[in-house]
Structure 1
Amino acid sequence: MTLAAWNDPDLKAGTMVRAALWLIQVVGEGNTFTKEQVREAFPKISQADRRIRDLRDYGWVLFTNSDDARLAAEDQRFVKAGVHVWDPVARRAAAPQKAISNKEKQAIMARDDYMCTVCGVSGGEAYLDDSNQTAVLSVVRRETVLPDGQEQTLFVTECKRCRAGSDGQPARADETLADIRDLDPGEQRRLLRWIERGRRGSTPLDRAWNSYRRLPADARDEVRAALED
């Protein structure tokens, strides 16, 4: 597998991935590097050193002077590479897993309006292109690149179909922000209003439908019966 250059401007990867490639391509296993070299390599990333430390969670071995007394305080040694974090599948499989309680799952689903964050379908709703299949929602982990280049694993609500069709690529908050900044000022203000409301200008009918779909089946029957009276 040919690795992308760590400083390739077209590389769609967060700071942790770029830092891993930098360690391999510039520093090399067994060699030392300093915080100053990290700052020079990633001049616009305030927490690049922290992203390098995050590599330890993926089996990368990095020594400081607390691990090796021969190192100066500002030095670190790149001892050994670990999981190939530039491979989304390998990174996701090796990511430290945080247990999530049922209470937290319910809170995340409520935050996401009990809808899939990818396609917008509500739980139990039939898909428009396949009325025989209804959406099953769950809370999943999604690798996300934040606007500052930092990578985090965040929780989101997704339906089973979207989860199965995922390409494993991280969500790109940095690219989203860039796209928003390309909008004209009027469009940006309109989008900001949607963001503040937490929804895209939905109609009362849309909101009533989503509220109805979140009800247990027996309660939906009661509502339907009341409307038919």
Structure 2
Amino acid sequence: MEQPAWDDPALSSGTMVRGALWLLQVIGEGHTFTKNQLRDAFPGISQVDRRIRDLRDYGWVVYSNTEDASLLAEDQRFVKAGVAVWDLNARRAAAPQKAISSKDRQAVLARDGYMCTLCGIAGAEPYPDDSVMTAVLSVSRRTVISADRSETEALVTECKRCKAGRGDAPIDVKDAFDAAGALAPGELRRLARWIERGRRGSTALDRAWAAYLRVPPEQRSEVTDRLREMQ
């Protein structure tokens, strides 16, 4: 379907669709925009910010200063376009699935040790190659291809950067076989112990660091003061 103009008066689509077209045609991938720019483009739309956030359900990636510390509070960065939401068939095919409940989300995060299952970063931890960006974890639904090539669905913990880079790629169990097959005997035995325990062999120090990172930044000074008393 041909991409319509975002400000075409004849366009009957809602604000989410027009907002997607505005991002592509006015802002462009990789560029920043302000909340005032957004409101000026869509005057009289009281929840235009929320409509832009709705695009994330269709694979669009838009960062605020929560995901990218280099951004100001009023800035956002259009990182990557997703599904062509102005195409009704494409939008229907990619319609968000049933929302993940808060209870299920917390259970999955705890199961995965509050770490991204792809890169292993903990929530709120700075990326080693980008110290101004901290990891924000989310729980995603992923298609899983089993060893017999049948497909199921699973909930997994991912950081937003890995989620954006991976797109909708499924999880293939064969990849785990291949990765394990490349290990040296000692590493394979260590992996087997992790599997038996049901968790990676992190140290007490690793777990303490991950717990500290889950504390909101404005309350971390309390932890720091208590640690000084314990030394």
- Report the TM-score when normalising by structure 1: 0.53
- 1:117 alignment counterpart: 117
When residues 178 and 161 of structure 1 are mapped into structure 2, their CA distance, relative to the original with a 3 A threshold, is closer
With 92-101 and 172-181 compared, the bigger mean Cα shift is at 92-101
- 1:226 alignment counterpart: 226
Which consecutive residues of structure 2, in runs of 5 or more, have no partner in the other structure? 1-89
By how many angstroms is 1:184 displaced?
6.2
State the number of aligned residues: 139
SS of the counterpart of 1:211?
helix
- Report the TM-score when normalising by structure 2: 0.52
Matches within 5 A, 1:31-70: none
- 2:206 alignment counterpart: 206
When residues 185 and 122 of structure 1 are mapped into structure 2, their CA distance, relative to the original with a 3 A threshold, is closer
8 Å CA contact retained: 1:126, 1:135:
yes
- 1:162 alignment counterpart: 162
SS of the counterpart of 1:113?
coil
When residues 147 and 209 of structure 1 are mapped into structure 2, their CA distance, relative to the original with a 3 A threshold, is same
SS of the counterpart of 1:195?
helix
- 2:152 alignment counterpart: 152
By how many angstroms is 1:143 displaced?
1.7
Give, as a single letter, the amino acid of the residue that structure 2 aligns with 1:134: T
SS of the counterpart of 1:115?
coil
When residues 174 and 209 of structure 1 are mapped into structure 2, their CA distance, relative to the original with a 3 A threshold, is same
When residues 109 and 191 of structure 1 are mapped into structure 2, their CA distance, relative to the original with a 3 A threshold, is same
When residues 188 and 164 of structure 1 are mapped into structure 2, their CA distance, relative to the original with a 3 A threshold, is same
When residues 160 and 175 of structure 1 are mapped into structure 2, their CA distance, relative to the original with a 3 A threshold, is closer
- 1:176 alignment counterpart: 176
Give, as a single letter, the amino acid of the residue that structure 2 aligns with 1:112: D
Give, as a single letter, the amino acid of the residue that structure 2 aligns with 1:198: G
Tell me, in whole angstroms, the C-alpha distance in 1 between the residues paired with 2:185 and 2:124: 38
When residues 127 and 187 of structure 1 are mapped into structure 2, their CA distance, relative to the original with a 3 A threshold, is closer
- 1:134 alignment counterpart: 134
8 Å CA contact retained: 1:124, 1:213:
yes
Give, as a single letter, the amino acid of the residue that structure 1 aligns with 2:101: S
SS of the counterpart of 2:138?
strand
By how many angstroms is 1:203 displaced?
2.4
When residues 104 and 200 of structure 1 are mapped into structure 2, their CA distance, relative to the original with a 3 A threshold, is closer
8 Å CA contact retained: 1:149, 1:174:
no
Tell me, in whole angstroms, the C-alpha distance in 2 between the residues paired with 1:219 and 1:121: 21
Tell me, in whole angstroms, the C-alpha distance in 2 between the residues paired with 1:119 and 1:127: 10
- 2:37 alignment counterpart: none
